[in-house]
Amino acid sequence: MDANTTLRNILLPTDFSELSRNALTSGIAMCKRHNATLHLLHVVDNRYLVVPHEAHNTTIYLMPESEKSGMTGLEKLADTIKSKNNIKVETHLDNGSPVDIIGKKAIDLHCELIVMGTHGASGMRKFFMGSTAYSVIKHTVIPVLTVPGSRKVKDFKRILFPIRASKKIIEKYGFIIPIIERNNAELIIAGLSLPDEPYSSELLNEEITELGSLLKLNGTNFKSEHFICKNYAKKVLELAKKEKADLIVINASLDYTWQQFFIGPYTQQVVNHATVPVLSIRSFPDLEALAKSE
């Protein structure tokens, strides 16, 4: 995948709940702006649909009925979306662990982005809770946009981009270039470093300067500031509120040197507590190669 990514396919897992429709609103709006195909996915969690029959010591399989209901729901939702929006919609139904299926489907369908809600419920178990969204972020290499169930967001006009000293800052920026351009958004760069990291702070300032030069060349409206703090997640959430951001873009790379800040409390806290959508970016895989390797 090129660093300057074109969004052509967007995967949106749905459980048809009222709260998960906020993610659908954001997904549809993005498909319109990027001329992308919306892939609706419903996962029937078979771990919760096999029930032992105590009286006859047999097993009742609810899977066929659940799959039929799920496909009916998907087709109805797709028809509604297509009748109101000029976008291409495809439907997909699968069964198994939602976290595993979501990541695999995104790769198989060559999706550049997964959009999902952070709250909701699907019958027997809570499905789109923050912990599930976080698990998807941990276990897939595809960028994930999580949308709070309490807020509908169609446009991203003020994008908060917290960064640490990393060789992949420009790469992460490359992914959001189309989002910035299609929304005519302002990018708010927040450099983050710890009080006892003088070398890291110096490197971060250099990278912010480099990124700033690139932004100027691209004609991007931006501002930047360097913050020295002990709690990255708290600072990011405070800045999002202060700057009235409507999107937070975070580096969710599995960086073993700084694992406690990325895959761990930092990512989890931001995703679970943000009141605006959060775009978590880990890496940029070769989707065709990954799909063939499955």
Higher pLDDT: 205 or 61? It is: 205
pLDDT of 241 > 60? The answer is: yes
If asked whether residues 135 and 43 sit together in one domain, one would say: yes
pLDDT of 56 > 50? The answer is: no
If asked whether residues 133 and 267 sit together in one domain, one would say: no
> What's the whole-model pTM score?
0.85
Edge-to-edge strand ranges of the sheet holding 247-251: 89-95, 37-44, 9-13, 113-117, 144-147, 278-281, 247-251, 158-163, 186-193, 221-228
pLDDT of 121 > 70? The answer is: no
Q: pLDDT band at residue 244, thresholds of 50, 70 and 90?
A: very high
Residue range of the domain that includes 249:
158-276
Give the domain-ending residue among 128, 151, 174.
151
Lowest mean pLDDT among 31-35, 43-47, 82-86, 189-193: 43-47
> Within a domain: residue 292?
no
Q: Are 23 and 117 in contact (CB under 8 A)?
A: yes
> Within a domain: residue 294?
no
Give the count of alpha carbons within 13 A of 58, CB side only.
4
- Tokens for 205? 């300032």
> Within a domain: residue 285?
no
* pLDDT single digits (tens) 4-33: 568 999 999 998 886 688 899 999 999 999
pLDDT at 22: 87
* pLDDT single digits (tens) 124-136: 334 444 457 888 9
The 3 state secondary structure assigned to 2-27 is CCCCCCCEEEEECCCCCCCHHHHHHH
Main-chain dihedrals φ then ψ at residue 16, nearest 5 degrees? 70, 10
If asked whether residues 197 and 260 sit together in one domain, one would say: yes
If asked whether residues 63 and 97 sit together in one domain, one would say: yes
C-beta neighbour count of 186 within 10 angstroms: 17
CA distance 4 to 178: 8
The total number of structural domains in the chain stands at 2
If asked whether residues 181 and 245 sit together in one domain, one would say: yes
Higher pLDDT: 28 or 56? It is: 28
Write the single-letter amino acid at 265. P
* pLDDT single digits (tens) 134-192: 889 888 889 999 998 877 889 999 999 999 887 567 778 888 999 999 999 999 999 99
If asked whether residues 146 and 98 sit together in one domain, one would say: yes
> Within a domain: residue 110?
yes
Q: What is the mean pLDDT of the chain?
A: 82
What CATH number should be reported for the domain holding residue 54?
3.40.50.620
> Within a domain: residue 210?
yes
Higher pLDDT: 144 or 61? It is: 144
If asked whether residues 106 and 170 sit together in one domain, one would say: no
If asked whether residues 103 and 196 sit together in one domain, one would say: no
pLDDT of 230 > 90? The answer is: no
